[in-house]
Chain A
Amino acid sequence: MSIPSLASARKPWFARLPVVSHLRMSSGLQRGMLIAGLVLSVLFIVSALFAPLIAPFDFAQSSDMSGDFPRQSAPDDKFIWGTTVTGYDVFSRTMYGARTAIWVIIAAVLMSLFIGVLLGLISGYLGGWFDRIMVVLADAIYAFPSLLLAIVMSIVISQGQSSLWGGIMAAAISITVVFIPQYFRVVRAEVMRLKAEPFVESAQVIGSSPWRVMFTHLLRNATRTLPLIFTLNATEALLTLAGLGFLGFGIEPTAASEWGFDLNRAMSDATSGIWWTGLFPGLAIVLTVMGLTLVGESMNDLNDPRLRRFSRKKAQRITQAGVTR
């Protein structure tokens, strides 16, 4: 088990936050990857937060005071990334798309996190019939193609309605159902391992109740790897959302802007040489997924001291600085 080093406990609280502490201990190529990931992720978050300020038009706006927008016009001064077949501004829609994406990610990951961790904790510690049923259920969900499951869920949940929140929640809940087994499995495996650790046994011989053992002793120890799954699942949530949108189960273009839906609409454009309607939402998906994955993977490598590398420069600096304690 990785135990934080003596020095880290004395650093100020902000230096001990997941991403910040990772950045501080990284070096060389690993630091480069982490920073690249962070830059892309921050870009994504900034465009989501400040979409109304950045975007010149609304996502469902096809006309202004000077009349209707041109359709499928190539990028120019007014429409820097061009317009779509329905006359929407591609740049504005791409910026607003980040908003939808981030809501779905937050909702989906939070819901699956809470439910999955709770179920994994109980199932792993108590075992018995509850555990057996939960494992079978999780396996059953795994057996479905996740996109198919998401489609079924979005039909069941939104019943064809596609308001902004209805669409977002439908996408989020369908992703949640697919993700719960992942959190469940990770936490359950970790709890099963920790169950045999002497500190859990020492709580048992004291006579602690199962709930106390689970929530005081196991919970915090079993959730160490979650920031990592969190970032990796965020990318999957985004891809599932885009997939749903691409297949037409997403959010109506007038309710919110969604990259997958825009890509779907851009399909027919591509054959007629209109590249801008597909390129930008596509790039947005690729870069966001790449950014989040880079952050997740770097955190994974940095968490494990055996995978952590010191660049030659940093190793030299540490050796020259000599002993600090």
Chain B
Amino acid sequence: MNKKLNTDPQSNDDVLRIEDLNIDFVTDAGAVPAVRGVDLSVKPGEILAIVGESGSGKSVTARTALGILAENGASHGAVYLKGKNMLTLHGSALRAARGRDVSMIFQEPSTALNPVYTVGWQIMEGIRAHTKVSKKEAKARAIEAMRQVGIPDPEQRVDYYPHQFSGGQKQRVVIASALALKPALIVADEPTTALDVTVQAEILALLRNLRDELGTAIVIITHNMGVVADIADRVIVMNHGQVVEQAPAVELFENPQDDYTKSLLAAVPHLGRNSSSEGLNERPHSRAEVLVEAKGLRVHFPGRMGAPGFTAVNGVDLKIHAGEVYGLVGESGSGKTTIGRSIAGLNKITDGSLNVLGYEMAQYKERSFKPLRKQIGFVFQDPAASFNPHLTVGECVAEPLNVHRDLNPSQTRAKVASLLEAVQLPGAYADRYPHELSGGQRQRASLGRALALEPKLLIADEPTSALDVSVQAKVLDLFRELQTELGFAALFVSHDLAVVDMLASWVGVLYRGSLIEEGLGSQVLSNPQNDYTQRLIASLPVPDPREQAERRKLIEELNRA
């Protein structure tokens, strides 16, 4: 191999330097451009955030730093990692660079760790692959790495298996194994996306500390502008495979130059802005008819073969009045989705009472509940999976009509066309298949299907969490418009406090199956009473670096207390 090609001609102190990188993917339908002419550099000890929406090429770009490229990808340009061109390295030279010079943190910690080995073994694996050390020495280093990432009792826990750790601790273990050889650069691909906000705040603080202590450069790939504001020194915004803007974090948020950056920032929901309960003093619609009433609701899922079960919802009381939007927030495992599914009859309730439109769900029978179904609409989280891939969008939207109404084909078609128009989709989309629509369009069609029978109650289970921010903003606007126009009651389930506040006037906070706080959205979010709610709100990063720095101090105080 030509030596000149592999070494950087102009030596400088950048850890990573990408020059004119172009990547294409070969598919059946032709070549798809993923990255176009990207130039970037990372200095030692710098945290660079690459932001962009899905398909912007951010992950593909950052992964080339490790020499990772999907098999059907073709790359041109140069990626210099400490002077070596990672695109031309092969075999043992590439393996030597991975782990020692650069390592990676993955999105989902539970799948990045092998469940049949202890975490210590997995950290040692990387150490022993690169350095000739004894098993004992490697173990000592693994314990040291685990201590560095703040896992308590590392001497004992080094012999634990991944399932014995919580999600946040698992991500710490992943970070520990990335750090074990003290690489100059860490590539973190959406390291906190799979984690709850309170855990996310801890992981971001950890990454920041590691940079300060070890001087490791970090490239963090994310779509979350709050995370960017919290951690990044410098930001690169990517769109359609190109870098559209590159600036220090504070500058980018305060004075974005590119139109795309501006629209991206405008679309991010900001806690406390645009609240739907602004200026209200009491619960609106509180005198209206009660559509859903839960008293001491308990939902228990039995465990597998003697293992203890899981109580997802434990003694929840709540009321949803006609015409109001009830926002239910909580972290994963808090039972928020279970409550929504119970109301729709997708889960059986274990104990207590749940009254839905006058029907007692404790005595649930599909046959007797069926007539009520036409008054309940449901919007699912993942718009890609909630449509039958073999039916056209029009057929999918017409399903509720076919089941409950006796319309002839032309009436059905007319109704579908008017529904699609209501959710701002062109009528011609009725003949398309779900996979031919974008995520946002599919979620609109899904909203149209849920509203087809003009329901009194709509249950929206994280309807926008699978969407990009700019698309999310449009779907939320549409939801708000339709709600004002049609006046249906809604249970809006989300983990995103800012989104819930935008839509719901009355907000309930769930924690481990209990409703710990309830009140007007603006009050709960600006003046939380419960300790957990306070921490939850403080952990939510806001897309503004200066404000976020202040909030960080607040959460540190809360954690100390």
Contact = CB atoms under 8 A, between A and B. Distances in A.
**Are A and B physically bound partners?**
yes
Interface of A: 1, 3-9, 25, 197-199, 201-209, 212, 216-217, 220-221, 310, 315, 318-319, 321-325
A322 B30 contact: yes
Nearest to B371: A207
Contact of A25 (B28, B433, B449): B28
Contacts of A203: 388, 399
Contacts of B2: none
Interface stretch (B181-189, B378-386, B480-488, B508-516): B378-386
A200 B389 CA distance: 11
Contact of A220 (B27, B32, B390): B390
B433 A5 contact: no
Nearest to B399: A206
Interface in B25-59: 26-33
Nearest to B395: A216
A205 B382 CA distance: 16
Nearest to B452: A206
13 contacts: A25-B28, A199-B388, A201-B386, A202-B446, A206-B403, A207-B400, A207-B404, A209-B403, A212-B403, A310-B72, A322-B30, A323-B30, A323-B32
Of the candidates A25, A204, A205, A208, the one having the most CB atoms from chain B within 10 angstroms of its own CB is A205
Nearest to B33: A323
Given A7-B28, A212-B403, A198 B381 contact: yes
Contact of B345 (A205, A321, A325): A205
B392 to A, nearest CB: 11
Given A202-B449, A319-B26, 13 more contacts: A3-B389, A199-B388, A199-B389, A201-B346, A207-B374, A208-B399, A209-B403, A217-B388, A220-B390, A318-B27, A319-B31, A323-B31, A323-B32
A315 B380 contact: no
Contacts of A324: 29-31
A5 B389 CA distance: 12
Nearest to A309: B71
B457 to A, nearest CB: 11
Contacts of B31: 318-319, 321-324
Of listed A8, A209, A318, A324, residue having the most chain B CB within 10 A:
A318
A325 B28 CA distance: 12
Interface string B450-479: 000000000000000000000000000000
A323 B344 CA distance: 45
A3 to B, nearest CB: 4
B202 interface: no
A221 B390 contact: yes
Interface of B: 24, 26-33, 72, 74, 344-346, 370, 373-374, 376, 378, 380-382, 385-391, 399-400, 403-404, 433, 435-436, 446, 449
A325 B385 contact: no
A323 B240 CA distance: 14
Contacts of A209: 403
A321 B30 contact: yes
Contacts of A216: 388, 391
Closest 10 CB pairs of A and B: A207-B373, A324-B30, A198-B386, A7-B29, A198-B380, A205-B378, A3-B435, A220-B390, A206-B400, A198-B385
Contacts of B345: 205
A207 B403 contact: yes
Contact of A205 (B32, B346, B391): B346
B376 A221 contact: no
A303 to B, nearest CB: 13
Contact of B389 (A7, A208, A221): A221
Contacts of B433: 9
Contact of A208 (B26, B32, B403): B403
Contacts of B436: 6, 9
Q: Which of A9, A202, A310, A325 has the most B CB atoms < 10 Å from its CB?
A: A202
A3 B374 CA distance: 30
A120 B327 CA distance: 41
A322 B26 CA distance: 10
A308 B33 CA distance: 20
B435 A202 contact: no
Contacts of B387: 199, 202
B8 to A, nearest CB: 27
A201 B375 CA distance: 16
Nearest to B30: A324
Given A203-B399, A207-B404, A318 B389 contact: no
A315 B374 contact: no
Contacts of A206: 373, 399-400, 403-404, 449
A208 B370 CA distance: 9
A113 B472 CA distance: 45
A298 B187 CA distance: 38
B69 to A, nearest CB: 13
Contacts of A201: 346, 378, 380, 386
B386 A199 contact: yes
B74 A315 contact: yes
B344 A205 contact: yes
A323 B33 CA distance: 7
Contacts of B376: 205
Contacts of A322: 30-31
Contacts of B381: 198
A105 B391 CA distance: 32
Given A208-B399, A318-B26, A1 B373 contact: no
A212 B395 CA distance: 13
A325 B29 contact: yes
B368 to A, nearest CB: 12
A318 B436 CA distance: 22
Given A206-B400, A323-B30, A6 B374 contact: no
A310 B33 CA distance: 17
Given A199-B387, A206-B399, A217-B388, A6 B74 contact: no
A220 B433 CA distance: 14
Contacts of B386: 198-199, 201-202
B442 to A, nearest CB: 11
A25 B30 CA distance: 11
Contacts of A1: 389
Contacts of B346: 201, 204-205
A221 B388 contact: yes
A3 B28 CA distance: 13
A296 to B, nearest CB: 21
* Most chain B CB within a 10 A radius of its CB, from A4, A206, A220, A324: A206
A310 B26 contact: yes
Contacts of A4: 435
Nearest to A2: B389
A199 B400 contact: no
Nearest to A206: B400
B438 to A, nearest CB: 12
B266 to A, nearest CB: 29
A324 B31 CA distance: 7
Nearest to B459: A205
Which of A198, A207, A220, A221: most chain B Cβ within 10 A?
A207
Nearest to B344: A205
Contacts of B32: 323
Nearest to A219: B390
Given A6-B435, A7-B29, A324-B29, A315 B72 contact: yes
B29 A5 contact: yes
Nearest to A220: B390
A276 B435 CA distance: 57
Nearest to A314: B26
Nearest to B378: A205
A222 to B, nearest CB: 11
